[in-house]
Structure 1
Amino acid sequence: MRQQMRKRSAVRRKMSSTTKSKSARPARRGPGRPAGEKSDDSVAILQDVALDLFSQRGFHAVTIKDIAKATGLNAALIYYYFGSKEDLFQQSVQVAVDRAFEQFETLAQGHTAPDQIIRDWIETHIKQRELIRKLVQVSLDYSKMEHRVPETDAAIRQFYDRERAVLSSAIRKGVRQKLFRKVDPDQTTEFISTFLDGAMVRSLIFDDFNSSKAIRGLQNFILSNLQDGT
């Protein structure tokens, strides 16, 4: 009888130990899913490299295998994070837009004068010249695509909408405070935006074109023109 009780006790201890070890075991991650910061790092690397390749070769010429080879990451991991090449393209464009405005916000920190806000936005195109060049390049390539994606359209449009809001608001404020002469804010904003795009496109066509010098010239021209006669 005592021997049977000892056996039962031993079985209970074994079952208890097994249950504890199972409950203490961490949950398994899904296939291909990296842990913690590694996933964030991988996403950032993929977005950066994808933007480079898309701007150099065009959307249709770049494959997921190309991106995997350039990053050293598994192609299955790219599909895991982004689902498709179109999703990766859209998110890469969105990241480029966000980074351009982060640079502007850094430059404009503490600035409230309308002339300085305009100066800061134009200066952003010098500080982030390569990034914005890539954004313009992929936008041009994307505009020729037969099948458009609403999310990508929105990401590209967002850049110009935010630019318009920054510039037109600063111009209106300057006119209201009599720091600028009376001008059409929307027309002036469109002129600035078009010149900046043109400088980026020209730099893609001619290797020897100094876009930074041209943009600096625009900066001086616009501000002197706005302040003329005030």
Structure 2
Amino acid sequence: MTIKDIGHAANVNSAMIYYHYKDKLALFNAAINSTINEAFRHFAEHCDNEKHDNAVSAINEWFNVHVTLHKRLRNVIKISLDCSGPEFAEARGSIKRFYNHENEILRKFIRDGIRTGIFRDVEPATTATMISAFLDGVLARSLILKDFDMLKTVEEFKRTLWQHLGYEAAHRKSARVARSDLANRKSA
């Protein structure tokens, strides 16, 4: 694919692409950074612990953001798998920055849940990585299988996660996000 092809597909004069980007790799890196920064903005807007009643509410919103941004985030997954050569060092750095930031946010939620007594004592870094790896798998599967029910799978994983964290069933009902609300986010 050439810059001219990209310009045509984006309905932009290819000269403008050359003006802003040195080459296709620079455009590629900018696209990766744009997607990651959009995710960070959504995380900051929706997943700040201060905006939620408790860690469960914050983690629920974390899943909601991933459902909302699933099309963009699964492209990051797909691209991550293709970025093995030395020319992709900048993209790999951006992707690592995404995972580090994600893990930091999730660890904070989990530590908060432990501190407030709604979660049992677990290793926050390991549990955060488990959540992240699950979401990667969901996003990858949604690319592979068009009939994959992402919402049902996410809801089932949350039930498993709450059990792992020792979050009581009585509390779960009050914190549950309606499936229809998630469906509305997915279609957005």
Superposed displacement of residue 112, structure 1: 5.7
Do 1:199 and 1:211's aligned partners in 2 also have CA atoms closer than 8 Å? yes
Shift of 1:161: 0.7
CA distance in 2, matches of 1:168, 1:157: 16
Greater shift, 212-221 or 132-141, is seen at 212-221
Alignment correspondent of 1:129: 70
Alignment correspondent of 1:117: 58
Structure 1's consecutive aligned runs of 4 or more residues displaced over 4 angstroms after TM superposition are: none
Deviation of 1:63 after TM superposition, in Å, equals: 2.2
- 1:107 aligns to 2:35 (yes or no): no
Question: CA 1:154 to 1:112, structure 2 compared with 1: closer, same or farther past 3 Å?
Answer: farther
- Once residues 72 and 177 of structure 1 are traced to their aligned partners in structure 2, the CA distance between those partners, rounded to angstroms, is 52
Q: What number of residue pairs does the alignment pair up?
A: 167
Equivalences for residues 1-230 of structure 1 within 5 A: 62-108=1-47, 110-111=51-52, 113-143=54-84, 146-228=85-167
Greater shift, 216-225 or 167-176, is seen at 216-225
Give, in angstroms, the shift of residue 193 of structure 1.
0.7
CA RMSD of aligned residues (A): 1.9
Equivalent pair of 2:162/2:168 in contact (CA under 8 Å): no
Asked whether the equivalents of residues 181 and 229 of structure 1 are also in contact (C-alpha less than 8 Å), the reply is: no
**TM value normalised by structure 2:** 0.80
Aligned twin of 1:49: none
Report which of the two structures shows the higher radius of gyration computed on alpha carbons. Answer: 1
Residue of structure 1 in register with 2:181 after alignment? none
Q: Which moved more, 1:99-108 or 1:202-211?
A: 99-108
Q: Which runs of 5+ in 2 are unaligned?
A: 170-188
